[in-house]
Structure formats: C-alpha cells, structure tokens
Homo-oligomer: A and B are copies of this chain.
Amino acid sequence: MTMVEPETGNPLKTAYQKSVAAYWNDNPNDDRVNTKLGEVDGLFHHHYGVGEPDLSVLEGPQETRQQRIVTELHRLETAQADGLLDQLGDVRPGDRLMDGGSGRGGTSFMANQRFGCQVDGVTISEYQVGFANEQAAERGVTDKVKFHFKNMLDTGFETGSRRGIWTNETTMYVDLFELFAEFSRLLEPGGRYVCITGCSNDVFGERSAAVSWIDAHYGCNIHPRSDYFKALAANNLVPVNVVDLTPATIPYWELREHSELATGVEKPFLKSYREGSFQYLMITADKVSR
C-alpha cells in the first residue's frame, strides 16, 4: 500500500472528522458491500443505485443467486453514476474536474473515460486515497486521475480552476454552507456542480426517527432538502436541473434486501423513503458571479 501524505497540513480538523476518517480507514473490510460490488468489474462505488432492476436474478440456481444479485446491484450503481455525469454538460479534454469525497474512485474513473480530461478526487480516508491511486496505476491513468488526502471543505486547489465538480452521496458528512463556499471558489464562471444525495424531506416536518437511524449507522448528518437550496443560493450556485430520484432508487433497495451483503440499514432507508421523510435527489447547478 502506497504511503499517503496529506498535501497541505492535516485535513482532519475536528474530532468528528477523525471519527469519519476512522470509520472508512480502519474497517475497510467492513464496507463489504462496496468491495464486493466493485469486484464485479473493478469500478468501486460508494453510492447507491437507480433504475429498474432485472428481478429475474432472484430466480434460477441457488448457488449463483447471490453473485447475480451483486452484479445487478452494481449495474444499478453504475447507472446512477452515469446519470450524474450526464449532467456535467459540455466537458472538454483540457478541462479539470473534481470528485468531492471520491471513495475508491469509481465515478472519477468513469468521468475520465467519458471526457478524457483530468479528474482530482479528494477524500479524508487515507485508506481510500491509497486504494484509488493504486487503481489509477493499474488502469494506467495516473497522469489524468489523481486522488488526494484532502478535506473537500478546504482543498487548497486554485480558485476558478474547475469546469465541474460533483459529490456522489458525500455531502452528509459536512456543513453545506462551508462546502458550497469552497466549490463556488473552485469553479470557473459558468462551471457546473452536480450533487446526488439523500436528504430529509422538509415536507415531513423534522428529521424522522428512521433518518436518524441512518445517521447513527453511518455517523453522518443527513441535511434537510431546504438546506441544499439555501446553501446554493448563498454561494452563487444556481440550480438548472433538479430530479427526485426516490422512485428510481427504491427498487434497488428492495433488491438489496435479498442480498447476503445486506447490513440492516435497508430497513430505515425503505421505511423513510416510503413514509416520505427521506428523498434521493440530484441537483445540477451553475456557478454565477452573484
């Protein structure tokens, strides 16, 4: 495993950030789901899936059933990342992109394959940085796709240097106002930010017990939907496309309940999606001057 050094000071400023990093560093085998699904084709995702599953995978021979489920779940996760990248608009090979909370690198590699441009992934898990950079080496794209032991709240990257930025289910670990201030700084005029996230639904009232259960499970802080739009508005990021992916992700979770990789968190996800206290949202926004 490559030694990973923080590039500019220690990116872990608070006890909370250390606890998050520890969760993803020290138990790499604990997030078995991500690992097992990534082994399907070498794209390791840290997010969930969307789209209609092929339920025939539940039928057929018992001994390969679990592998068929894994393959199908992975297909839906890749479809989700593809949908995210569709939103980035016109990205050219000379542009630079950033993946905020890049995990083991799945979406970053897909972006590089699609646009041919440079992608920088940042994560506060040293384990993930090492893993993803090794993947880049295996894929022979270390000149184009780089992973950094950095905090996405304070990347140190150059102002106005990014054509596009995305976060794929990582915003629940940080304050949105701090995050979007940094993204607004990094994006060039007219640059684009795409966010896929689970958010609590303000229409329900306050955060439901089921959503808090998810927070307790991952040690994260799921934000209300309204906070996303307040924080965007406060940071010169203007929505141009918003889609509620909830109906498209519920079948993924229903299938996942059949998997032996199920961790129990499926229950609060499905309960909260169904009761309307939780939503799976994709937001696309443009960077403007004021």
Contact = CB atoms under 8 A, between A and B. Distances in A.
B289 A14 contact: yes
A179 to B, nearest CB: 10
B240 A241 contact: no
B240 A205 contact: no
Contact of A15 (B16, B243, B277): B277
Contacts of A204: 14-16
A17 B205 CA distance: 7
Contact of A244 (B177, B240, B277): B240
A290 B238 contact: no
Interface residues of A, number: 52
A189 interface: yes
A240 B283 CA distance: 9
A116 interface: no
A16 B277 contact: yes
B16 A205 contact: yes
Contacts of A243: 241
A275 interface: yes
Interface of A: 13-17, 19, 173-175, 177-178, 189-190, 202-209, 212-213, 215-219, 221, 225-226, 229-230, 232-233, 236, 238-244, 275-277, 279, 281, 286, 288-290
